[in-house]
Amino acid sequence: MRKFLKKWTAIVTIAAIIVSVSNFSPISAFASSNVTPMIDAGADHSIALKSDGTVLSWGSNEYGQIGVPSSGELDRKLSPEYVPNLSDVTYVTAGAGFSVALKSDRTVWAWGKNADHQLGAASFNNKESNPVKVTGISDVISISTGTGHVIALKSDGTVWTWGSNSRGQLGNGESGFDKSKSTPSQVSGLTNIIAVSGGAEHSLALKSDGTVWSWGYNSASQLGDGTYTNRTTPIQIGLTNVKSISAGQSHSLALKKDGTVWAWGWNANGQLGDGTYVNRNLPVQVSLPVINSISTDVMHSSALDTTGRVWTWGSNTYGQLGDGSTTDSNIPKSIGITNVSQVSSGYLFTLAMKTDGTIAGWGYNVGGQLGSGDRTNKYTPTLITGVTLEEVIPDTEPPTILLTPYTTTLTNQDVKVNVDVTDNVGVQIIKWSNGIVPESFFAANGTDITAARSFVATKNNVFTVWAKDTAGNQSLKTISITNIDKTPPAAPTFTVDRGDPMDGLATVTITYPSDAFIKEYGIRDVWSVYNGPITLSQDSNVKARSTDAAGNVSEVVEVTVRGLSSELHLARAYAAVVKAEESLLQSDVSDARALLYYIAIEYQEAYGLRLDAVQALIDEESAYQLLLDEAISAVAMAEMTIAQNDVETARHLVNSLKPAAKESLNERLDIVQAMIDAYAYQLRLTEATGAVVKVEGSLRQVDLDTARTLVNELNNSDKAALNDRLVRVQESINYGLKVSIATEAVAKAEGTQKQDDVDAARILVDTLNTAEKSSLNTRLDAVQTAIDALNDYVLKLAAATEAVEKAESTKTQDDVNAARPLVNALNAVDKAALGARLDTIQEEIDADAYQAKLTLAVEAVEKAELTRTQDDVDAARLLVNALEDTEKGPLNTRLDAIQAEIDDQDNALVVATEAVEIAEASLLQADVTSAEALVNALPETMEKRNLVKRIVAVKKEMVTANNNVLGFEVTATTKNSIQLGWNKVEGANYYKLERLVNGVVMKTFTLTGTTIKYKDTNLSLNTVYEYRITPKKGTLYLEPTSLESTTFEVVMPEIPTLISASVNEQGILKAVGKGNAAYKLYLVVKSDKGALVSRTSITSLQEKTYGFAKGGNFTVQIEAYDSTNKVSSYSTTEPVQVSEIMLAAPTPMDFRVTVTREGTNVVFRASVLNDLVNEIESYQFEIYDSSNKRLAIGWGSAKENRLEFTNRRGSSITPAGEYTVLVKGKRGISLFSEPVVIKVAVE
């Protein structure tokens, strides 16, 4: 039988059992009861909770997990069934062969498989179909299941577990296959928990402070702590601000409060979604939009975003990603299902619950776990018919409309009005119109703004907005726009007063209109704010303008003022400049500058330069006196504080003075410096001595390094004495470090269980004293025993896998029978995975014979449908009646239809004639189509030919009656697509739709006569397109209709730069790029034909390497990617050439092999000269026995100038005889050199 592993996650918080979908309006018309419906996908069965508190289940019932007695291993329920004797349920979860439910009274109930006491019952009933209450626990608010264990969260924030504890997943400090628990026990050290999640053999918990805690199996670092060490008690991992968690088989997910998703652990199928297949021992971010909930299983993951879309990634062998293919994906993909409120990943399949309470499933379905009524795998989301989890209540609440103008202040621009419409079930359409209009107006009028959610008012008026929700409820809202003013103010006027002619001045007064908000005047093209009359001393042109509160600008007017005297102003200014030059007083300079305003520009510049020279002399003398005073004060401060920083500050100021003052003040500073130097050495000696005393007590290397640095700054005699003491301390530290390094190496070997790590640790341990060496060697002996046992199992697994692959290739019963006992000898996990593959092959074999009978029957029915003869109907009936009821029913239905047609041919003529008469009267396409179908179904007779002629006449009449396309409009636009719509032209059999740019036809689409909309995709950004549609009736093209539309404007990312790109002689590309940190940068490698070879992330100004797998000509460029707008910009390309000689795998040199017996082990040791030149090259070692069966494979570790490979095997499994050891050079993942072979004998 199949034993499946489990995902899986039921992410639950104290506040809510199901995570809600925020910012998403479900398109449905229902209201639900107090119980929140939910789904959960298990190993090979599924479970669902309805809003009335009852439970449905379907799929495999091998252990009674559906809730009804099991008839055996092949018992399957292909459609949902109620779990009897179970009500008042608030939460459910499906494990591997068992189910668990939480009731409203906070008690836990379980049924199904009980091999590990996961039902919370000590008695061993492994097929318990009746829900039993879990004893010893109450006040539970959340539950989650793993492969064979259960986690419960109580209202006080504590966590309780029971069931399998094979890898420490119960968190009670124990682990082992014999450590399962039938009674719930508290996990110590966990408080304030708000969510739990059970994986295959590990567990996760989320605290109220947003931190994540993990424990259990850690073979792929699914605990996320950066190690591969199993944990029997909870540990905290490096994540914060987390709101939900999900544990799979060997990987885990976390959802942060900002909507980002993080993953860690096993990644062989891309289930981490980070674009690689590399395992991660620490969390990495997954590239996704804002996410609302997450779910994992064995090898794939899923997420639900805030708009109700589902994203999937990872393994896709059976279509569990739902994208219509069976190709794995290491990045998330959005699939074709919307309006989803919950998603759940199971073993090789996925379920989704839509906002209307219906359920869809896809992926593996051999056990009926998709609930579709059959056992056929589904590659896209498929609804379960006849099932809804919600109680539907009609909606009568209309939408709420809020209208907000972009501005309410006066403006000379159009006013944009934002339209915010909310509804409890979802908005279907929004329109607007000028004036006050009723709801009925919008049935065929108004402008659709469902996507834009705004409109523009170009003048003052009252505007009406109308909205309708998906239940048909309507709302109206009006808004009055009164702040648009596009009329400019009147022009200003001038009054000029010349005053006394001896002054040489004139006064200009400007009168502005009453609505002037900004008043301005301009002289010599310099505009200023007008605050009152303007005094002129020179001939000038004065301009004026006004701006009203809405921003409208008046006409610019101008007045010319001439005849002003400048000689008097020039004489006054000259006298003032001469006075300032003689006095060198600041007040005289200021007075002279004030008079420059009244003289000509050329004199202003000349006199201004003379005043600048005077100002420089005044400033120089003043600045030096300030500097001297500051330097004297600084020297006095240094003499008082005796501080080095004060001396340096004073020295800097003094050195800027004149020689006499500098010499005097520096002598005073030299005395202070001598005092500081003497005191500083005494402090250094005291500090160094204290550091030596400290390290003598701590024996820490960091303290010794600190002390040595301080001692080396002393004079020779003090340094020698203290260094003698440090030498003795160093000797003590060195031995402690050797013990620490050896202990760490042993711990690493215990964690990794790798032979190379054991060998490396042995070398370090052998250098220690007897006491430490004995203790650490005992621990290494235990690891060696475990490795030997694992090697034996690996060989058994390889043989079973090879047998299954052979059966998959041949698809013969003999090969299936041969593989089955090999698979049954494996552990539960591997047996489940390989057993599922054998089951699939068996089902294909069983189906072949029956398929042949089915094919003959279908062909016979198709022939009868073609010939419509009684003999063919009778012959087909005999073949169909030999089939099973499932296929027999539909085929007999088709035969019954033919039989009825044969019996009723006379009646058919009467019906067809009446249909033609109706079409002749209505001239409607639907009536013509109906009549034509009835006539075409008649046998060939004179009556049929007459009816055909009448239909042709009707079509000709329709062509002249309806020739124009109405309602041709743009219904939606994006950055690279335009959605068009139009009204159907009756009688049109085709439409010719043309796309034009600048009047030139770029593409033509031919659409059927039933088409009323079309989405044009792959368009260019920021581009105006013209569309022209022409209906065709028969062979006649009618009048065309045209319109224009523009794609959304999208700002492209800043173009990156490829700084350098070169390939070295080993075929390694080294590239450096530069780009804006606001965008993601990628190194893109393409073939000379443009095919993508590699696209990897790159950091700006940091070198990136890439190893080529084959030779040829390639191009390299840098891509800048905007993940928000999904657009990219590219640098220029750089060509590179890779020759085949660069790609040659390394050739092994100086190959040596020895074999020895050491205790109970046979030890093979092989080595080659280490001449590897880059990171993608290696040497692969292999060992074979006399029957050419491979016993071991490895890559060796570097030791001095060689690569060494060591393999230890138990003597009991390594008999005497000849063995073959070979080594071959490897480049990348697929290029190998010719092997070098040595045969050795085991005595």
CATH number at residue 1069: 2.60.40.10
DSSP 769-804: -HHHHHHHHHHHHHHHHHHHHHHHHHHHHHHHHHHH
> What's the CA dihedral at 968, 974, 977, 981 to 10 degrees?
-20
Residue 781 covered by a domain: no
1224-1238 in b/e form (b: 16+ CB < 10 A) is: bbbbbeebebeebee
Rg (the chain; Cα; Å): 44
Q: Answer whether 652's CB lies under 8 Å from 638's CB.
A: no
Bridge partner list, 404: 418
977 vs 103, residue with greater confidence: 103
On whether both 989 and 864 belong to a single domain, the answer is no
Residue 511 covered by a domain: yes
Place of tokens 């209540």: 393
pLDDT reading at 943 higher than 90: no
**Other beta carbons within 10 Å of 937:** 14
End-of-domain residue from the set 1087, 1114, 1143:
1143
Place of tokens 């103010």: 489
Amino acid in the structure at residue 104: S
pLDDT reading at 364 higher than 90: yes
On whether both 226 and 354 belong to a single domain, the answer is yes
On whether both 1080 and 1213 belong to a single domain, the answer is no
End-of-domain residue from the set 690, 714, 738:
714
pLDDT at 1177: 75
On whether both 974 and 1062 belong to a single domain, the answer is no
Q: Answer whether 663's CB lies under 8 Å from 631's CB.
A: no
Residue 627 covered by a domain: yes
Q: pLDDT tens, 799-838?
A: 889 999 998 888 888 899 999 999 998 888 788 888 888 8
- pLDDT band at residue 564, thresholds of 50, 70 and 90? low
pLDDT at 27: 29
pLDDT reading at 790 higher than 80: no
Q: Answer whether 335's CB lies under 8 Å from 303's CB.
A: no
pLDDT at 7: 32
The Cα 1221–Cα 1242 span in angstroms is 12
Taking Cα atoms as reference points, which of 1150, 1164, 1238, 1239 lies closest to residue 1202? 1150
CA atoms within 13 A on the CB side of 322: 31
CA 834 to chain centre: 32
Place of tokens 């289930």: 271
- pLDDT band at residue 141, thresholds of 50, 70 and 90? very high
Give, to the nearest 10 degrees, the angle between helix 770-810 and helix 755-765: 170
What does the block give as tokens for 740?
């620490």
Taking Cα atoms as reference points, which of 1027, 975, 1031, 965 lies closest to residue 999? 1027
The Cα 1126–Cα 1050 span in angstroms is 10
pLDDT reading at 613 higher than 80: yes
Bridge partner list, 979: 972, 1015
Amino acid in the structure at residue 608: G
Bridge partner list, 861: none
What does the block give as tokens for 433?
């119109």
Write the DSSP symbol of residue 1089: T
DSSP 148-196: SEEEEEETTS-EEEEE--TTSTT-SS--STT--EEEEEE-TT--SEEEE
The Cα 852–Cα 850 span in angstroms is 5
pLDDT at 565: 52
- pLDDT band at residue 959, thresholds of 50, 70 and 90? low
Q: What is the mean pLDDT of residues 699-713?
A: 88
pLDDT at 1: 29
Backbone angles phi, psi at 1224, to 5 degrees: -145, 145
Residue 121 covered by a domain: yes
Q: Quick one: the chain helix, strand, coil %, rounded to 5?
A: 30, 35, 40
Q: Which residues, other chains included, contact 514 with Cβ-Cβ below 8 Å and sequence gap of 6+?
A: none
The Cα 1151–Cα 1168 span in angstroms is 5
What does the block give as tokens for 432?
């607007």
Task: Give the three-state DSSP class for 108.
Answer: strand
Residue 455 covered by a domain: yes
| Alpha carbon separation from 257 to 209, 210, 723 (Å, rounded) | 11, 9, 56
On whether both 553 and 665 belong to a single domain, the answer is no
pLDDT at 5: 34
Q: What is the mean pLDDT of residues 1188-1213?
A: 85
On whether both 358 and 242 belong to a single domain, the answer is yes
pLDDT reading at 1040 higher than 50: yes
pLDDT reading at 1230 higher than 80: no
- pLDDT band at residue 25, thresholds of 50, 70 and 90? very low
On whether both 299 and 410 belong to a single domain, the answer is no
Residue 27 covered by a domain: no
Write the DSSP symbol of residue 199: -
Taking Cα atoms as reference points, which of 43, 158, 33 lies closest to residue 95? 43
> Domain of 316: which CATH number?
2.130.10.30
Q: pLDDT tens, 230-249?
A: 999 999 999 999 999 999 99
Q: Answer whether 11's CB lies under 8 Å from 197's CB.
A: yes
CA 314 to chain centre: 13
Burial class, 210, CB count within 10 angstroms (exposed 0-12 / middle 13-18 / buried 19+) = middle
pLDDT reading at 886 higher than 70: yes
pLDDT at 905: 67
Q: What are 400-409's contacts with CB under 8 Å, separation 24+? A: 400/475, 401/465, 401/467, 401/475, 401/476, 401/477, 402/477, 403/465, 403/477, 403/479, 405/457, 405/479, 405/481, 405/483, 407/483, 408/483, 409/483, 409/549
| Alpha carbon separation from 790 to 216, 753, 826, 1037, 1157 (Å, rounded) | 20, 9, 12, 77, 20
Q: Answer whether 1196's CB lies under 8 Å from 1179's CB.
A: yes
Residue 461 covered by a domain: yes
- Give, for 55, the enclosing helix (H) or strand (E): strand 55-60
On whether both 273 and 405 belong to a single domain, the answer is no
**Other beta carbons within 10 Å of 615:** 16
On whether both 268 and 405 belong to a single domain, the answer is no
- pLDDT band at residue 374, thresholds of 50, 70 and 90? very high
Q: pLDDT tens, 148-185?
A: 999 999 999 999 999 999 999 999 999 988 889 999 99
Q: Which residues, other chains included, contact 938 with Cβ-Cβ below 8 Å and sequence gap of 6+?
A: 905, 908, 909, 912, 944, 947
Domain count, the chain: 9
Place of tokens 């920021």: 1022
Place of tokens 């024996």: 699
The Cα 49–Cα 101 span in angstroms is 9
What does the block give as tokens for 904?
């009723």
- pLDDT band at residue 478, thresholds of 50, 70 and 90? very high
Domain that holds residue 140: 38-383
- pLDDT band at residue 566, thresholds of 50, 70 and 90? low
On whether both 214 and 339 belong to a single domain, the answer is yes
> Which regions of 551-620 does DSSP assign to beta strands (E)?
557-561
- pLDDT band at residue 394, thresholds of 50, 70 and 90? low
Q: pLDDT tens, 1059-1100?
A: 999 988 778 889 999 999 888 999 999 988 888 888 888 999
Amino acid in the structure at residue 75: D
| Alpha carbon separation from 557 to 497, 522, 548, 553, 560 (Å, rounded) | 18, 10, 16, 12, 11
pTM of the model as a whole: 0.40
pLDDT at 698: 82
| Alpha carbon separation from 38 to 83, 90, 358 (Å, rounded) | 15, 9, 10
pLDDT at 32: 36
- pLDDT band at residue 34, thresholds of 50, 70 and 90? low
Q: Answer whether 90's CB lies under 8 Å from 106's CB.
A: no
pLDDT at 567: 67
Euclidean distance between the first and the last CA atom of the chain, given in angstroms as a whole number: 44
Give, to the nearest 10 degrees, the angle between helix 770-810 and helix 813-824: 160
Place of tokens 């500073």: 669
Q: Answer whether 255's CB lies under 8 Å from 293's CB.
A: yes
Lowest mean pLDDT segment, chosen from 1-5, 124-128, 305-309, 665-669: 1-5
Q: In what order do the strands lie in the sheet with 1057-1063?
A: 1057-1063, 1068-1074, 1104-1107
Residue 830 covered by a domain: no
Lowest mean pLDDT segment, chosen from 14-18, 191-195, 553-557, 1199-1203: 14-18
On whether both 1129 and 1162 belong to a single domain, the answer is no
The Cα 528–Cα 1127 span in angstroms is 47
| Alpha carbon separation from 651 to 452, 528, 625, 656, 674 (Å, rounded) | 70, 51, 17, 9, 14
Q: What is the mean pLDDT of residues 734-747?
A: 85
End-of-domain residue from the set 1110, 1143, 1176:
1143
On whether both 1096 and 1193 belong to a single domain, the answer is no
- pLDDT band at residue 501, thresholds of 50, 70 and 90? low
Total residue length of the chain: 1243
Q: In what order do the strands lie in the sheet with 359-363?
A: 340-345, 349-354, 359-363, 378-383
229-244 in b/e form (b: 16+ CB < 10 A) is: bbbbbbbebebeebbb
pLDDT at 13: 29
Mean of all residue pLDDT scores within the chain? 86
- Give, for 142, the enclosing helix (H) or strand (E): strand 140-145
